[in-house]
Amino acid sequence: MKFSLIATTLCSLILLSITACTWVELTTAGSNVVLKTSDNLNQACQRLGTVNAKTSASLVAGTSRDNKKVKEEITVLARNEAARLNANTIVAQTEAKDGEQSFIAYRCP
């Protein structure tokens, strides 16, 4: 009984710490890409393409991850991918839903 309580507590703590983690790291190139709104976009920006970012919105057994962390991770993935297109700016094209979001990549002066 004592072991069961300890095991349950330990598993709960591990699960809580995992749900708070961000799984993706921003690359050096990705750190040069900024997220803007279409209202703040310079007219001289050149559209380079679309970036689709996807991450897991849930953990084992359907346990949901923290929505803020999921959005942060999606943005990091999009910035990293946009850097591969030689972009320095991204603008959200869709809302984040189920761990997915689309962005438009731009090269701005």
Q: What is the CATH number of the domain that holds 85?
A: 3.30.110
Tally of domains within the chain? 1
Over residues 55-94, the pLDDT tens digits come to 987 765 667 778 899 999 999 999 999 999 999 999 999 9
Residue 1: count other Cβ atoms within 10 Å of its Cβ: 5
Residue of 102, 75, 101, 82 whose CA lies nearest to 32? 82
Which residue range(s) make up the domain with 50?
2-107
Percent of the chain at pLDDT above 90?
A: 62
Confidence of residue 1 (pLDDT cuts 50, 70, 90): low
DSSP labels for 37-89?
Answer: -GGG--TTPEEEEEEEEE--SB-GGGPBPPHHHHHHHHHHHHHHHHHHTT-SE
Q: Provide, for the chain, the percentages of residues in helix, strand and coil under a 3-state DSSP scheme, each rounded to the nearest 5.
A: 40, 25, 35
pLDDT value for 22: 52
State yes or no: pLDDT of 45 exceeds 80: yes
What is d(CA 18, CA 99) in angstroms, rounded to the nearest whole number? 16
Residue of 62, 77, 56, 66 whose CA lies nearest to 16? 66
